[in-house]
Amino acid sequence: MSKVQEAVECFNNGFNCSQAVFSTYCEQFGLDRKSGLKIAGGFGGGMGRQGEICGAITGAYMLIGLKHGKSEKADDEAREKTYELVQEFSHRFRERNRYIGCRELLGVDIMIGDKNILNEKFKVLCPQMVRDAAEILEEIMEIK
């Protein structure tokens, strides 16, 4: 099974979109899967179900930081590389989906929307967002 499919399966097996993306790849960068699931736990549903930036995207952003992020005061090159990749990721995601906000992607406010409609949208749309995020992440970071 590909890592992209593994991320989708993780989502379909009860984890949120951010957890699905982040935990699928985090071991490649020195973080165990269980910790990855915990770290990404609050980012699903657009930051704790607030409908902000899609959790699949924030999972990808965290992975970009985990691989390239600045960890020493003088390493401004790492910060620039991280920002460049986050911007590239966002651009590619928007090309595919028009938006990066959970609320806009789903077409409903998840804080106040009808739960039946939301559950259906989660089942149909969110796996595709996870897939898109994982595919773009693999492209820009050259990982599998």
18 assigned to some structural domain: yes
Mean pLDDT score, 20-26? 98
Q: pLDDT tens digit string along 55-67? A: 999 999 999 999 9
Total domains in the chain come to 1
In a domain, 143, yes or no: no
- pTM assigned to the model: 0.95
- Work out whether the CA dihedral 8, 21, 14, 1 comes out positive or negative: positive
Note the pLDDT tens digit of each residue in 45-89: 999 999 999 999 999 999 999 999 999 999 999 999 999 999 999
Q: Report yes or no on 7 lying in a domain.
A: yes
Task: Describe the crossing of helices 3-12 and 17-25 by its angle, rounded to 10 degrees.
Answer: 140
Structural domain boundaries enclosing 107: 3-137
